[in-house]
């Protein structure tokens, strides 16, 4: 009997004395199951995006607006067939669906990732677009990162320094496609010494390395974060969740995003905070003593929470890839409060004060950034053939588009393309430029 027990024990432990088989628990909690399903959804959506191709029309897209989705598919097929001998080396290409975008562009879904990548090659792209029609362009997929508290010594046009930034931080040449100040240098106040920058990376891997390690710019190590989608707010009626742009708003007169009166926000002369009035909160009968663009606005927080519930990618700190560490989740406070731009930096002692372009009375903008150590990053393969966008000193919508067109329309329609609408972009910019969302009228900083 004892011999049988001993034999059974050896079978369980592999014959090693003193080792007991660890108890196995195959029970999966509801939370674990939900997260597993969420991850599978994010992976599916990411895979679908690799099969997408966005064709924009620089001439306004009026001619395309009149075409049906079926006609748009036929248009793309004809363009492919007209490519001639260059199209003979292509993988099997089939345009499965077409969706018309608000800006007049078209989002195509192809049969494979190989097909989409082949059409995105510089030489192939040029030929395809020339056959597609005049004014046609392909929108590149980029991954936007918000970089905080950068010394303004970087210069008014950061694109001139991209090569040096890549070299100093071990990034592959061409990884940073473009960079724009979040706020125009001309609008900075006299004593401001640091400002925020938005950079667009060519690959998700490159963007994740920037988010993970930060960057060294002008000798200073700075922190970075993924730039998430924002809830759409119409800049004409100032309401969230209406599903339209200012150009589509049916309201006759403009409503000010500062004081709530009947004039355009840019024409508002109100400077007394007590006179500010949020349109969304006032309509709900709630306290409305803040601008409509305020990031502490309850209506904004509610809209962002709903958007995050419909857009699982927003729940992650990085752009999720096959690397396990990129699936780190964002803390709940990030999604349910208005502390979006400077919350992490504030906790690390970086400050939000006037020297950082923040609010008066919030303290210094310097702070400690920790030891100046540099971690060499893997040289991820960047997109080739994509020219860096330069010119201009203020972030504009065209240079700020995400990997695809649509913004929160994605969440509203349960689609897979991502970008910001014009309203979302302007709403975001008005919120981060200055306290209350209105740019300070200051004397431009003299050129050095």
Q: Per-residue confidence of the chain (448 residues) as pLDDT tens digits? A: 444 444 444 444 444 544 555 555 567 787 788 888 888 889 999 889 999 999 988 775 456 778 999 999 999 999 999 988 666 778 999 999 999 988 788 999 999 999 999 998 889 999 999 999 888 999 888 999 999 999 999 999 999 999 999 999 999 999 999 999 998 898 888 899 999 999 999 999 999 999 999 999 999 999 999 998 888 899 999 999 877 888 889 999 999 999 999 999 989 998 898 999 999 999 999 999 999 989 899 999 999 999 988 888 999 999 999 899 999 998 744 444 343 333 333 334 444 444 444 433 333 333 333 333 334 444 444 444 444 544 333 333 333 333 333 333 333 333 333 334 444 444 444 444 433 333 333 333 333 3
Assigned CATH class of 46-138: alpha beta
Tokens matching residue 196: 């925020």
What pLDDT sits at residue 21?
52
Q: Kindly report the CA angle at 53 between 120 and 408, in degrees rounded to 5?
A: 135
Whether the Cβ atoms of residue 357 and residue 152 lie closer than 8 Å to each other: no
What pLDDT sits at residue 57?
83
What pLDDT sits at residue 114?
93
What pLDDT sits at residue 103?
78
What pLDDT sits at residue 194?
95
Secondary structure (DSSP) of 413-442: HT-S-----HHHHHHHHHHHHSGGG-----
Whether the Cβ atoms of residue 346 and residue 198 lie closer than 8 Å to each other: no
Q: Is 179 helix (H, G, I), strand (E, B) or coil?
A: strand
In the chain, CATH 3.30.70.330 covers: 143-231+341-437
Whether the Cβ atoms of residue 104 and residue 88 lie closer than 8 Å to each other: no
- Does the predicted TM-score (pTM) go above 0.85? no
What pLDDT sits at residue 436?
35
- Which of 354-370 are b and which e, b meaning 16 or more Cβ less than 10 Å from the residue's Cβ? bbbbbeeeeeebbbebe
For domain 143-231+341-437, say whether CATH 3.30.1520.10 is its number. Answer: no
Q: Is 190 helix (H, G, I), strand (E, B) or coil?
A: coil
Helix and strand tally (H, E) in the chain?
A: 15, 10
């Amino acid at each position: 009997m004892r011999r049988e027990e001993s034999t059974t024990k050896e079978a369980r432990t592999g014959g090693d004395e003193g080792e007991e088989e660890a108890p196995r628990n195959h029970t999966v909690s509801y939370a674990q199951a939900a997260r597993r399903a969420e991850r599978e959804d994010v992976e599916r959506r990411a895979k679908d995006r690799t099969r997408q191709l966005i064709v924009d029309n620089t001439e306004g897209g009026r001619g395309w607006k009149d075409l049906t989705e079926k006609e748009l598919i036929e248009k793309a097929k004809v363009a492919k067939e007209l490519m001639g001998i260059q199209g003979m080396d292509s993988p099997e290409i089939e345009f499965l669906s077409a969706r018309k975008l608000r800006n007049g562009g078209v989002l195509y879904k192809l049969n494979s990732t190989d097909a989409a990548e082949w059409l995105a090659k510089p030489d192939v792209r040029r030929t395809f677009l020339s056959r597609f029609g005049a004014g046609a362009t392909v929108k590149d997929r980029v991954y936007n990162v918000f970089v905080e508290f950068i010394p303004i010594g970087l210069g008014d046009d950061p694109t001139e320094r991209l090569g040096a930034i890549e070299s100093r931080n071990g990034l592959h040449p061409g990884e940073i496609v473009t960079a724009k100040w979040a706020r125009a240098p001309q609008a900075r106040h006299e004593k401001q010494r640091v400002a925020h920058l938005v950079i667009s990376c060519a690959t998700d891997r490159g963007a994740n390395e920037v988010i993970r390690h930060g960057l060294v710019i002008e000798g200073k190590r700075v922190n970075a974060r993924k730039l998430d989608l924002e809830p759409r707010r119409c800049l004409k009626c100032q309401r969230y969740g209406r599903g339209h742009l200012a150009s589509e708003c049916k309201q006759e007169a403009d409503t000010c995003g500062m004081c709530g009166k009947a004039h355009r926000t840019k024409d508002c002369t109100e400077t007394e905070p007590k006179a500010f009035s949020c349109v969304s909160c006032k309509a709900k009968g709630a306290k409305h003593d803040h601008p409509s663009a305020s990031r502490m606005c309850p209506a904004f927080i509610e809209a962002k929470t709903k958007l995050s519930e419909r857009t699982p990618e927003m729940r992650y700190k990085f752009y999720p890839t096959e690397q396990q560490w990129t699936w780190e989740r964002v803390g709940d406070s990030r999604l349910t409060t208005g502390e979006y731009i400077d919350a992490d930096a504030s906790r690390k002692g970086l400050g939000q004060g006037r020297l950082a372009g923040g609010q008066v009375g919030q303290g210094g903008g310097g702070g400690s950034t920790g030891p100046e150590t540099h971690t060499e990053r893997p040289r991820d393969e960047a997109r080739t053939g994509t020219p860096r966008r330069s010119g201009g000193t203020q972030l504009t919508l065209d240079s700020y588009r995400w990997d695809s067109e649509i913004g929160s329309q994605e969440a509203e329609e349960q689609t897979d393309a991502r970008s910001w609408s014009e309203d979302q972009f302007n709403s975001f910019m008005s919120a981060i430029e200055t306290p209350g969302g209105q740019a300070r009228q200051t004397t431009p900083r003299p050129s050095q």
